[in-house]
């Protein structure tokens, strides 16, 4: 295979586990309230995007071992909250770019996909890796809509990517069925439940070496995307939010030791139920 450029689109999301039930009740009062409720929560990589970023690094490493030229670019459709994450990615060897959407795209998969496709054309990337799903919309549509906009085929649920002669060997999943295939770029790979899920940590030396590197900032106009027009054509519109009541009795089982607690749990709650199974 000749030189290969790999693009990875990623998103930083609020750490939803840091929110309390009261925060979610407030978020459910309306689409705009959702953004307000999560605005001050710390940001983390979307888990599927983090796996995609590490898979791309491993693919680069494997190709480099074989003497194959590979370049990496990571981009996010996001505000400045993505900058610290882009700095980390630059220290790991990625070029970094950010597309400033100037609009709330939390529930706008088609507009997001249009920007992702346009950014991929602008920045280059025969292989585009994206996380399978990303909150808060969680539709899983962005990789497929981006593939459609780019005129590329795509694979779902990707869990591993390896070099194979002049192509790529991809492990993926369609439903519950694990599959493996040899593919030829250009393509879009939607990364799913990869075991490689944590991004490596850059060394201090790498951080210092890249600290002055500038993140490329793009506007939708730079990419030829009219965001208000795209938003007006979104294939679905969020009109309301509801909380989910999962509450149960929550009876605390008391005991002076784990053995006593286990005994009380068995006698008061489990014995009769297990008898019926």
Partner 1 sequence: MAGETPRIALVLDATGAAAERHAQALGGFLRDGLRFSPEHPADAVTHLFYAEESARERLLALAPTRLVRLVRAPPHRPDLMAAALAAFAAGGGAELFVFGGPLGAESAARLAARSGGGVLTGVLDAVAAAGALSCRRHVSSHHLIGRFELRARPWCVTLDAGWLDAGFEPPAEHVVQASTELREDDSSAPRLCDDVEVFEPPATSDLEAAQFLVVAGRGAGGRAGVERIATAADRMGAAFGVTRPVVMNAWAAPDRQIGVSGTRAAPAVCIVAGSSGAPAFLWGVERAGFIVAVDTDEHSAMAGEADAVVLDDAVTVLEALADIVARERL
Binders of partner 1 among 233-252, rule CB under 8 A? 233, 235-244, 246-252
DSSP 257: S
- Specify which residues 54 forms β-bridges with: none
Dihedrals phi, psi of 4, to nearest 5 degrees: -130, 135
Q: Which is nearer to partner 1, 66 or 269 (CB)?
A: 269
Cβ distance to partner 1 smaller for residue 24 or 43: 24
Q: Interface residues for partner 1 in 195-224 (CB under 8 A)?
A: 195, 197-198
Rounded CA-CA distance 180/59 in Å is: 16
Query: Do residues 112 and 143 lie in contact, with contact meaning Cβ atoms separated by under 8 Å?
Result: no
Q: How far is CA 71 from CA 90, 183, 227, in A?
A: 12, 19, 29
Number of residues binding to partner 1, judged by CB under 8 A: 83
Least distance from C-beta 79 to partner 1, angstroms? 19
When binding is defined by CB under 8 A, the residue of 182, 203, 217, 219 that contacts partner 1 is 182
Interface residue with partner 1 among 64, 124, 193, 221 (CB under 8 A) is 193
Six-digit token string for 196: 């490689």
Half-sphere exposure in the Cβ direction for 123 (13 Å, CA): 30
Consecutive H or E run containing 48: helix 47-65
Nearest approach, Cβ of 263 to partner 1 (angstroms)?
Answer: 6
Identify which range of 18-26, 55-63, 85-93, 213-221 contacts partner 1 by CB under 8 A: 18-26
Minimum CB separation of residue 160 from partner 1 in Å reads 11
Site map 22..61 versus partner 1, x via CB under 8 A: --x--xx-----x------------x--------------
C-alpha to C-alpha distance for 180 and 188, rounded to whole angstroms: 15
Choose the binding region for partner 1 from 70-78, 79-87, 178-186, 222-230 (rule: CB under 8 A).
178-186
Nearer to partner 1, 42 or 205 (CB): 42
Positions 118 through 177 that interact with partner 1 (CB under 8 A): 135-141, 144-145, 147-149, 151-156, 171, 174-177
Q: Which of 179/209 has CB closer to partner 1?
A: 179
Q: Judged by CB, which is closer to partner 1: 128, or 215? A: 128
Q: Which is nearer to partner 1, 124 or 178 (CB)?
A: 178
Q: Tell me the C-alpha to C-alpha distance, in Å, between residue 34 and each of 20, 140, 243.
A: 13, 20, 12
Is there binding between residue 228 and partner 1 (CB under 8 A)? no
Residue 146 CA to its chain's centroid (Å): 14
Residue 101: name the closest of 131, 122, 74, 76 by CA: 76
Tokens matching residue 65: 């071992």
């Amino acid at each position: 295979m000749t030189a290969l450029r790999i693009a990875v689109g990623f998103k930083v999301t609020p750490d939803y586990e840091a929110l309390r039930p009261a925060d979610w009740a407030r978020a459910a009062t309306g689409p705009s309230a959702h953004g307000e409720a999560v605005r001050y929560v710390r940001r983390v990589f979307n888990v599927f995007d983090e796996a995609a970023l590490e898979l791309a690094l491993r693919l680069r490493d494997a190709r480099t071992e074989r003497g194959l030229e590979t370049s990496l670019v990571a981009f996010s459709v996001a505000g400045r909250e993505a900058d610290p994450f882009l700095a980390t990615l630059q220290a790991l060897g990625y070029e970094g770019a950010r597309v400033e959407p100037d609009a709330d795209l939390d529930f706008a998969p088609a507009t997001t996909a249009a920007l992702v496709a346009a950014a991929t054309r602008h920045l280059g990337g025969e292989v585009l890796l994206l996380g399978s799903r990303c909150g808060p919309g969680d539709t899983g549509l962005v990789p497929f809509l981006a593939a459609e906009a780019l005129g590329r085929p795509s694979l779902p649920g990707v869990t591993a990517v390896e070099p194979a002669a002049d192509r790529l060997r991809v492990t993926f999943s369609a439903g519950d069925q694990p599959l493996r295939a040899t593919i030829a770029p250009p393509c879009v790979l939607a990364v799913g439940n990869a075991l490689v899920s944590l991004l490596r940590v850059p060394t201090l030396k790498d951080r210092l070496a890249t600290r002055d590197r500038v993140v490329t900032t793009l506007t939708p106009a730079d990419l030829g995307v009219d965001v208000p027009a795209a938003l007006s054509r979104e294939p679905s519109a969020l009109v309301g939010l509801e909380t989910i009541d999962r509450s149960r009795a929550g009876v605390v089982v008391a005991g002076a030791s784990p053995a006593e607690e286990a005994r009380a749990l068995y006698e008061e709650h489990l014995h009769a139920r297990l008898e019926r199974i």
